Amino acid sequence: MRGRSVVVTGAGSGIGRAVVLACARRGASVAALDIDAERAVSVADEASAAGSPRAVGIGCDVSVEESVRGGYDQAVEALSGLDGVCANAGVEINAPLHEFELEQWRRVLDVNLVGMFLTCREAVRRLVETGATGSIVCTSSPSAFVGFAGGGNSAYAASKGGVSAFVRSAALDYARHGIRVNAVVPGATDTPMLVSERDGAARDDALRHIRSAAQEQIPLGRLGRPDEIAAAVVWLLSPEASYVTGAHLVCDGGLLAKSANDF
Ligand SMILES: NC(=O)c1ccc[n+]([C@@H]2O[C@H](COP(=O)([O-])OP(=O)(O)OC[C@H]3O[C@@H](n4cnc5c(N)ncnc54)[C@H](O)[C@@H]3O)[C@@H](O)[C@H]2O)c1
């Protein structure tokens, strides 16, 4: 990844932060974009300390067109180029369908799917304009393929199903330009998103419950670590994946390989 310039959205936490740091350790320049500008800057500082030649943190809301354009303007100027993008920003709001507020539903779709579109469109526009090749990795989810047994996941599942369909379609559109578009599919990964809808003691209880359920229900017997997902993303971003496009790299401890039935 040495000499490459990578933009990561949702970079202030969890998987996005891990992708920034993994790119930095491999010598890439990185722009960490997050709706939380302070966290974006702090992750960029960590990237510099980890060996990134150039690292910049930028406040950017992926669901807002001008914010995405402005974020890329700053990123491309600071990094002097663009080779890779990890379109990763996401939110999860769960509720039974009949209780879902339209505003909540729209927020999930706006960040996870419209945000993905805006992030990828901006990247592709810049790459096509300069005739450059590149690699884009979008973060999908097992919920693009199966229903979550816990329920209430309709908006998130719809958004990630959209992301996965988008990836296949965009990969075909830009293959002849030498722009690869792939998805990473993290399973249950130990990040703040797992308990994002809870606070304080309820959050700690939920985490304990999730970790113990993971031991039983996930074939590898544990949650994923953000750095394990980041390793898959970095491979897709790198020239080692030069013949991979339109693909999903599942990184889920065996979750999707397993049928719920044990009879
Ligand atoms: N953690 C999991 O189990 C899991 C599993 C499958 C997929 N994912 C996906 O991985 C991605 C990263 O999630 P994570 O687990 O690291 O969660 P996280 O909550 O730790 O990080 C998400 C980051 O996205 C940022 N963000 C939210 N809205 C934004 C917006 N509008 N614009 C820019 N940034 C925004 C947040 O500030 C946060 O820093 C998401 O797309 C998520 O859906 C997570």
Mean pLDDT of 40-47: 98
Burial class from Cβ neighbours inside 10 Å (0-12, 13-18, 19+) for residue 259 reads exposed
Q: What is the pLDDT of residues 78-134, one digit of tens each?
A: 999 999 999 999 999 999 999 999 999 999 999 999 999 999 999 999 999 999 999
Q: Which residues are catalytic, by number? A: 156
Predicted confidence band of residue 263 (pLDDT cuts 50, 70, 90):
confident
Q: Is the pLDDT of residue 50 over 90?
A: yes
Report the C-alpha gap between 138 and 247 in whole angstroms.
10
Q: Tell me if 159 CB under 6 Å of ligand 1.
A: no
Residue in 38, 193, 207 to alter for ligand 1 test, most ligand atoms within 8 A of Cβ: 193
Which amino acid residue places its CA nearest to atom 32 of ligand 1? 61
User: Band of the pLDDT at 21, cuts 50, 70, 90?
Assistant: very high
Alpha-carbon distance values, 96 to 93, 100, 105, 155, 156 (Å) = 10, 6, 11, 10, 12
Query: Residue 122 has what pLDDT?
Result: 98
**Closest Cα partner for 143 from 115, 108, 192?**
108
Cα(130) to centroid of ligand 1, in Å?
A: 30
pTM: 0.97
Cβ–ligand 1 distance for 1 under 6 Å, the answer no
Question: For residue 197, is pLDDT > 80?
Answer: no
Q: Ligand 1 atom closest to Cα of 63?
A: 31
Residue 42, judged by CB atoms within 10 A of its CB (0-12, 13-18, 19+), counts as middle
Distance 169 CA to ligand 1 centre (A): 23
Question: Are the beta carbons of 31 and 68 closer than 8 angstroms?
Answer: no
66 vs 68: CA distance, rounded Å: 5
d(CA 43, CA 22): 12
Q: Is the pLDDT of residue 77 over 90?
A: yes
Q: Is 194's C-beta closer than 6 angstroms to any atom of ligand 1?
A: yes
For each of the domains in the chain, give its residue range(s) and CATH number, in order of start.
5-189+224-251 (3.40.50.720)
* Amino acid 13: pLDDT: 97
The answer on pLDDT for 195 being more than 90 is no
Q: How far apart are CA 8 and CA 144, in angstroms?
A: 21
